């Protein structure tokens, strides 16, 4: 049955011990590198788990169906849900990470790439979650219908009950059948509990999608703000260029005026000098 954390599958050791699955993402490096490596590793894990879940879900309701198959589906689904939750937290950390100007471009590229990859992995996971839940519900419905038909066996028919009670071994047979029926009901209860867990995980993934949508919205506003700042800066630069151009023009005109004044002054001085020279020459 769906018994989470029994330790039947070695790949779930971190989950079964109660720890959150965490990817270290390699050794050292900047916080940006650590986050991108951890998120990439988790996305890869989600993708691999989804592939395994799909393989097992395809067997539900077929001759290959078994309790072990369902246990694998439940454990893989729940484990993947935990990895998705952790990835969601890491994505928030990445989105709000303060990075130096030299890493801004790299940060934006990594953030956008991981957002797309995480969103795709989540969509695939959510699709197989719903498929698994639908198959489980259909299986439980069939089992309940069969259980209902079973309880209406000839052994429970009032018209022949007294005769049956007189049959040798009937009491023991009835007890055995009742025990089997109780086992079937316990099995149904466990399957229904597993379905509730699947549905709870689906709700969790829906919330992660909402959080991811908010991050994308914030990123859009951030980009709009950056574009506005760039436009403002460009406007200031253009205004500065115009002012500089005006200043150069003004300075050029001022220089021409100075040159003209100097030329006029030289001409006046030359005329005065000529006049003085002529006057002195006449006196002599």
Q: Domain ranges in the chain?
A: 10-221
Q: What is the mean pLDDT of each run of 10 residues along the chain (284 residues)?
A: 44 40 44 94 97 94 89 93 95 90 88 93 93 85 67 48 50 50 65 80 85 78 49 57 68 78 83 80 71
CB atoms near residue 83 (< 10 Å): 24
* DSSP E strands, the chain: none
Joined together, the tokens standing for residue 7 give 């330790």
- CA–centroid distance for 243 within its chain: 48
**Locate tokens 């002012």: which residue?**
243
pTM to 2 decimal places: 0.58
- Name the DSSP class of 231: H
pLDDT at 137: 84
**Nearest CA to 88 among 119, 65, 67, 59?**
119
Cβ contact 125:84 at 8 Å: yes
Question: Cα separation of 137 and 148, whole Å?
Answer: 16
| Domain 10-221 class, CATH top level | mainly alpha
* End-to-end Cα separation, the chain, in angstroms: 138
């Amino acid at each position: 049955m769906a018994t989470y954390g029994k330790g039947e599958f070695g790949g779930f050791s971190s989950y079964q011990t109660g720890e959150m699955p965490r990817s270290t993402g390699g050794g050292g490096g900047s916080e940006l590198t650590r986050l991108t490596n951890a998120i990439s590793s988790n996305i890869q894990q989600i993708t691999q788990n989804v592939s395994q879940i799909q393989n097992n879900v395809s067997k539900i309701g077929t001759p290959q169906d078994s309790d072990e198959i369902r246990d694998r589906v439940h454990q893989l689904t729940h484990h993947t849900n935990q990895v998705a939750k952790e990835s969601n937290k890491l994505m928030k950390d990445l989105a709000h990470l303060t990075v130096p100007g030299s890493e801004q471009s790299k940060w934006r590229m990594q953030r956008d790439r991981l957002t797309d990859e995480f969103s795709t992995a989540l969509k695939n996971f959510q699709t197989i979650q719903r498929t698994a839940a639908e198959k489980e519900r259909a299986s439980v419905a069939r089992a309940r219908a069969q259980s209902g038909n079973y309880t209406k066996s000839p052994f429970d028919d009032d018209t022949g009950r007294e005769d049956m009670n007189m049959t040798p071994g009937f009491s023991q047979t009835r007890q055995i059948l009742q025990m089997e029926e109780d086992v079937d009901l316990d099995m149904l209860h466990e399957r229904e509990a597993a379905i509730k867990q699947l549905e709870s995980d689906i709700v969790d993934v829906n919330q992660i999608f909402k959080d991811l949508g908010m991050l994308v919205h914030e990123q859009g506003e951030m980009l709009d703000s950056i574009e506005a700042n760039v436009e403002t800066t460009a406007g200031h630069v253009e205004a500065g260029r115009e002012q500089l151009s005006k200043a150069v023009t003004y300075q050029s005109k001022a220089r021409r005026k100075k040159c003209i004044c100097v030329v006029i002054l030289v001409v006046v001085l030359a005329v005065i000098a000529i006049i003085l020279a002529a006057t002195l020459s006449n006196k002599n």
